[in-house]
Structure 1
Amino acid sequence: MRGRLLENFGLKVTAVIMAIILWFFVISKGQSEISINVPMELKNIPQGLESIKHGVKSVNVSLKGQDRILRNMKPSDVRVHVDLSKAKKGKGIYYINKDDVEIPPTINIIGITPSSVWIVLEETIIKTVPVHAIRAGSPKEGFVVSSVEVLPKELAIEGVRTETGKVKFLRTEPVDISDADKTFTQTVRIDTAGRDIRTDMQEVSVKVVIKKSSKFEIKN
């Protein structure tokens, strides 16, 4: 029995090697590689914190798979998540591994660049500030603005401490009073002046009281 196993042993080994090579050839046939730039997404940010800076906005993911599948892939088919569930306030380094990348089945990840990213988290605060109405133009000749009332008078704002802490008040978008000769109320949007803050309301009501100027009043 043993003699039969050893008979033509060299040819048998060669046949096995050729079979393995053929198997790899069949498996690899039609395989190709691509690289896709994917936006980096942050998830599980701890409550009371938010991201203000990070080292990169996108991650390059190298993939390998069937050529016909890769040809039809779009960046939206791949997602990269950075888990911040254990993050703390300040600057930290967070690693990106294969478990953080969502890809279609049958596709393999062969590279992620960069493999780590720095992210700065800052404390979120909420505070209440007054709202000031901004006027544009002038009333009709013979009339004056008696008073301006904003409702609500105050709004809650939310954002990171370094940004929100600088805000002393909010302004409205300009209220046009050109040629006005009577009291009116207008709904206008809040102007955040490009600051990275959030408000509990996007619009307020502004009441402009217009009265006749005393200079033009007719005395009996």
Structure 2
Amino acid sequence: MILNHLKALLLDNYLIKIASLAFAVILWFYVNSKGGVEMEMTVPLELKNVPPALVVVGDMIDDVNVRVKGRERILQGITAHSFSAVLDLTGAREGDNVYFLDPSVIAVSSNIQIIRINPRRVVIRTEALLKKVVQVSARVDGKPATGFRVDRVEVTPAWVTVEGARSVVDPLTQLVTDPIDVTGERKTVIRETKLNLLGKDLQVDEKEPIQVKVHFVRQN
């Protein structure tokens, strides 16, 4: 009896039930295919695979403007930090390297479409990477105690190895420390200080701090 009742429920109006199911499936596909919205955002531009003998120099854009398209509920969950534009510098040569940005530089999920990238073209300037040993000179400021003068200055290390773009490193003959103030001093002063790189993009092999020892002598 119960079995017959269940069978009747399933078979009665089965065409209506099939039609309802088909309509629900079509509606689901329709809803999910619609709602494609576009969104614009600024994402960081990253460089990878810079050849080891080169260094990137000069002014370079830090980010690009990207327009994406996808379902609204998906785009609501992404931000400018969700992805980045990655430029592969494999094969770059010294000088100006021109790259055209296309959707392949941005890794996104398959349900997000890259519509536009601005700028489309970027120029990356590179220079040869140069390493050089230069002398360290201490900057000593201030006037010692009355009747005394600076006799000699010792710096440890006296030489350091610097690395950077050829145009920056090649002219260097020395690096100067941050100032050591000896105002009113008469006994040997030992201080730790840092190298003043004057805003230059340099890497120094030797570890800081730099030790400076200032000796005084009585004036005749």
Q: Which runs of 5+ in 2 are unaligned?
A: 1-25
Q: Which moved more, 1:142-151 or 1:197-206?
A: 197-206
- TM-score (norm: length of structure 2): 0.80
Three-state SS of the structure 1 residue aligned to 2:149 is: strand
> What is the aligned partner in structure 1 of residue 215 from structure 2?
209
- 1:91-118 superposed Cα distances (whole Å, 9 cap, x missing partner): 1211222221123563222222223311
Structure 1 Cα separation of the partners of residues 153 and 58 of structure 2: 40
Structure 2 Cα separation of the partners of residues 54 and 137 of structure 1: 38
Q: Map of 1:93-112 to 2, 5 A cutoff?
A: 93-104=98-109, 106-112=111-117
> What is the aligned partner in structure 2 of residue 88 from structure 1?
93
Structure 2 Cα separation of the partners of residues 82 and 64 of structure 1: 22
> What is the aligned partner in structure 1 of residue 79 from structure 2?
74
May I ask how many residue pairs the two structures share in their alignment? 197
Kept in 2: contact 1:30–1:67 (CA 8 A): yes
Q: Which runs of 5+ in 1 are unaligned?
A: 1-20, 216-220
Structure 1 Cα separation of the partners of residues 32 and 48 of structure 2: 36
Give the AA of the match of 2:209: E
> What is the aligned partner in structure 2 of residue 170 from structure 1?
175
Give the fraction of aligned pairs with identical amino acids, expressed as a percent: 34
Task: State the shift of 1:55 in Å.
Answer: 5.5
Q: Map of 1:10-25 to 2, 5 A cutoff?
A: 25=30
Which of 18, 36, 39 lines up with 2:41 in the alignment?
36
- TM-score (norm: length of structure 1): 0.80
Kept in 2: contact 1:54–1:117 (CA 8 A): no
Give the AA of the match of 1:155: V
Kept in 2: contact 1:77–1:104 (CA 8 A): no
Which of 148, 156, 162 lines up with 2:153 in the alignment?
148
Instruction: Say yes or no: does 1:134 pair with 2:139.
Output: yes
1:135 to 1:54, Cα distance in 2 relative to 1, 3 A: closer
- 1:66-94 superposed Cα distances (whole Å, 9 cap, x missing partner): 22332332211121111011111111211
Structure 2 Cα separation of the partners of residues 26 and 142 of structure 1: 91
> What is the aligned partner in structure 1 of residue 23 from structure 2?
none
Task: State the shift of 1:48 in Å.
Answer: 0.7
